[in-house]
Amino acid sequence: MDLLEIKALLENELKRSVELNEKSGQLTLSTQDLVAVCDFLWRNPTTYFDSLSCVTAIDLGVDSGQMEVIYTLYSIPFHVTLHLRVVLDRENPELPSLSGIWKTADWHEREAFDFFGIQFIGHPNLTRILLPADWEGHPLRKDYVEQERYHGIKVKYEG
Protein backbone atom coordinates (compact mmCIF):
# COMPACT_ATOMS: atom_id res chain seq x y z
CA MET A 1 0.00 0.00 0.00
CA ASP A 2 1.36 3.39 -0.97
CA LEU A 3 0.17 6.98 -0.56
CA LEU A 4 -1.49 7.13 -3.97
CA GLU A 5 -3.53 4.04 -3.10
CA ILE A 6 -4.54 5.62 0.23
CA LYS A 7 -5.49 8.82 -1.58
CA ALA A 8 -7.66 6.87 -4.04
CA LEU A 9 -9.37 4.98 -1.20
CA LEU A 10 -10.15 8.24 0.60
CA GLU A 11 -11.42 9.95 -2.53
CA ASN A 12 -13.71 7.01 -3.15
CA GLU A 13 -14.93 7.13 0.45
CA LEU A 14 -15.42 10.95 0.52
CA LYS A 15 -16.64 11.24 -3.08
CA ARG A 16 -14.30 14.18 -3.74
CA SER A 17 -10.61 14.86 -4.34
CA VAL A 18 -8.03 14.93 -1.56
CA GLU A 19 -4.84 17.03 -1.68
CA LEU A 20 -1.68 14.92 -1.40
CA ASN A 21 1.87 16.18 -1.08
CA GLU A 22 3.78 13.06 -2.14
CA LYS A 23 7.15 14.46 -1.08
CA SER A 24 6.08 14.91 2.55
CA GLY A 25 3.54 12.10 2.58
CA GLN A 26 0.92 14.56 3.75
CA LEU A 27 -2.80 14.66 3.00
CA THR A 28 -4.61 17.94 3.59
CA LEU A 29 -8.12 17.57 5.00
CA SER A 30 -10.93 19.87 6.00
CA THR A 31 -11.98 20.06 9.63
CA GLN A 32 -15.30 18.54 8.63
CA ASP A 33 -13.66 15.44 7.09
CA LEU A 34 -11.15 14.76 9.86
CA VAL A 35 -13.12 12.29 12.00
CA ALA A 36 -14.63 10.40 9.05
CA VAL A 37 -11.23 10.01 7.38
CA CYS A 38 -9.49 8.91 10.58
CA ASP A 39 -12.24 6.47 11.44
CA PHE A 40 -12.03 5.03 7.90
CA LEU A 41 -8.23 4.74 8.07
CA TRP A 42 -8.46 2.97 11.43
CA ARG A 43 -11.35 0.61 10.60
CA ASN A 44 -10.51 -0.27 7.00
CA PRO A 45 -8.57 -3.58 6.89
CA THR A 46 -6.69 -2.49 3.77
CA THR A 47 -5.20 0.53 5.57
CA TYR A 48 -5.52 -0.15 9.31
CA PHE A 49 -3.67 2.83 10.74
CA ASP A 50 -3.60 1.45 14.25
CA SER A 51 -1.26 4.04 15.74
CA LEU A 52 -1.56 7.79 16.19
CA SER A 53 2.10 8.62 16.84
CA CYS A 54 1.98 12.39 17.10
CA VAL A 55 -0.26 15.43 16.99
CA THR A 56 1.58 18.67 16.52
CA ALA A 57 0.53 22.22 15.78
CA ILE A 58 2.09 25.11 13.90
CA ASP A 59 1.16 28.74 14.42
CA LEU A 60 1.55 30.40 11.03
CA GLY A 61 1.44 33.85 12.61
CA VAL A 62 -1.02 36.65 13.20
CA ASP A 63 -0.82 37.96 9.62
CA SER A 64 -1.71 34.58 8.12
CA GLY A 65 -4.69 34.12 10.42
CA GLN A 66 -4.05 30.38 10.38
CA MET A 67 -2.71 27.48 12.38
CA GLU A 68 -2.07 23.93 11.24
CA VAL A 69 -2.44 20.64 13.05
CA ILE A 70 -0.48 17.68 11.74
CA TYR A 71 -1.43 14.14 12.71
CA THR A 72 1.14 11.38 12.21
CA LEU A 73 -0.43 7.96 11.71
CA TYR A 74 1.35 4.66 11.42
CA SER A 75 0.09 1.29 10.21
CA ILE A 76 2.06 -1.36 12.05
CA PRO A 77 0.95 -4.28 9.82
CA PHE A 78 1.61 -2.36 6.59
CA HIS A 79 4.66 -0.33 7.72
CA VAL A 80 3.23 2.92 6.33
CA THR A 81 3.41 6.40 7.81
CA LEU A 82 0.84 9.02 6.86
CA HIS A 83 0.61 12.68 7.84
CA LEU A 84 -2.77 14.40 7.91
CA ARG A 85 -2.79 18.19 7.80
CA VAL A 86 -5.70 20.39 8.84
CA VAL A 87 -5.66 24.19 8.51
CA LEU A 88 -7.48 26.13 11.24
CA ASP A 89 -8.69 29.65 11.80
CA ARG A 90 -6.15 31.15 14.20
CA GLU A 91 -8.73 33.25 16.07
CA ASN A 92 -10.98 30.27 16.81
CA PRO A 93 -8.83 27.13 16.53
CA GLU A 94 -11.19 24.18 16.96
CA LEU A 95 -11.10 20.58 15.84
CA PRO A 96 -13.06 17.49 16.79
CA SER A 97 -11.19 15.23 19.19
CA LEU A 98 -9.83 11.95 17.86
CA SER A 99 -9.58 10.40 21.33
CA GLY A 100 -12.58 8.20 20.51
CA ILE A 101 -10.56 6.55 17.72
CA TRP A 102 -7.06 6.46 19.18
CA LYS A 103 -6.59 6.67 22.95
CA THR A 104 -3.18 8.28 22.42
CA ALA A 105 -4.94 11.36 21.03
CA ASP A 106 -5.93 12.22 24.60
CA TRP A 107 -2.50 13.43 25.70
CA HIS A 108 -1.40 14.68 22.27
CA GLU A 109 -4.46 16.92 22.05
CA ARG A 110 -3.96 18.18 25.59
CA GLU A 111 -0.41 19.19 24.68
CA ALA A 112 -1.62 21.10 21.58
CA PHE A 113 -4.26 22.78 23.73
CA ASP A 114 -1.68 23.64 26.41
CA PHE A 115 0.82 25.25 24.05
CA PHE A 116 -1.37 26.58 21.21
CA GLY A 117 -4.85 26.98 22.70
CA ILE A 118 -6.50 24.64 20.18
CA GLN A 119 -9.90 23.44 21.38
CA PHE A 120 -10.56 19.75 20.71
CA ILE A 121 -14.33 19.41 20.78
CA GLY A 122 -15.51 16.24 22.50
CA HIS A 123 -12.22 15.64 24.32
CA PRO A 124 -12.87 13.84 27.66
CA ASN A 125 -10.49 16.03 29.72
CA LEU A 126 -9.13 19.01 27.81
CA THR A 127 -6.94 20.49 30.54
CA ARG A 128 -3.33 21.56 30.64
CA ILE A 129 -0.89 18.65 30.68
CA LEU A 130 2.58 20.23 30.97
CA LEU A 131 2.03 23.76 32.26
CA PRO A 132 0.41 24.58 35.61
CA ALA A 133 -3.39 24.86 35.49
CA ASP A 134 -3.29 28.59 36.25
CA TRP A 135 -0.72 29.45 33.54
CA GLU A 136 -1.84 32.39 31.41
CA GLY A 137 -1.83 32.04 27.64
CA HIS A 138 -0.40 29.49 25.25
CA PRO A 139 3.39 29.88 24.91
CA LEU A 140 3.96 28.49 21.40
CA ARG A 141 1.65 30.99 19.74
CA LYS A 142 3.58 33.62 17.80
CA ASP A 143 1.88 36.47 19.69
CA TYR A 144 2.46 35.03 23.17
CA VAL A 145 3.77 37.56 25.67
CA GLU A 146 5.90 35.93 28.32
CA GLN A 147 4.99 36.76 31.91
CA GLU A 148 7.57 38.57 34.00
CA ARG A 149 6.78 36.46 37.06
CA TYR A 150 4.79 33.37 37.95
CA HIS A 151 3.82 33.06 41.63
CA GLY A 152 6.64 35.43 42.54
CA ILE A 153 9.26 33.51 40.56
CA LYS A 154 11.05 35.37 37.80
CA VAL A 155 10.14 33.74 34.50
CA LYS A 156 11.66 35.99 31.90
CA TYR A 157 15.44 35.87 31.73
CA GLU A 158 17.57 38.06 29.54
CA GLY A 159 20.43 36.17 27.90
Residue 54 is predicted with a pLDDT of: 98
Instruction: Tell me how far apart the alpha carbons of residues 128 and 132 are, in angstroms, rounded to a whole number.
Output: 7
User: In the prediction, which pLDDT does 148 show?
Assistant: 85
136-156 pLDDT per residue, tens:
999 999 999 988 888 888 887
* Domain 3-141 is found in CATH 3.30.70.520: no
Of 71, 119, 76, whose CA–CA distance to 97 is shortest? 119
Q: How far apart are the first and last CA of the chain?
A: 50
Residue range 73-87: mean pLDDT, rounded: 96
pLDDT at 82 (0 to 100):
95
Residue 126 has pLDDT above 90, yes or no: yes
Task: Please state the domain extents for the chain.
Answer: 3-141
pLDDT for res 159 = 67
What is the percent of the chain with per-residue pLDDT over 70, rounded to a whole number?
Answer: 99
Query: From residue 117, how far is each of 76, 92, 123 by CA, in Å?
Result: 31, 9, 14
Give the integer Cα–Cα distance in Å for 95 and 97: 6
Phi, psi (rounded to 5 degrees) for 94:
-135, 140
Above 70 in pLDDT, residue 21? yes
140 exposure class (CB count in 10 Å sphere: 0-12, 13-18, 19+): middle
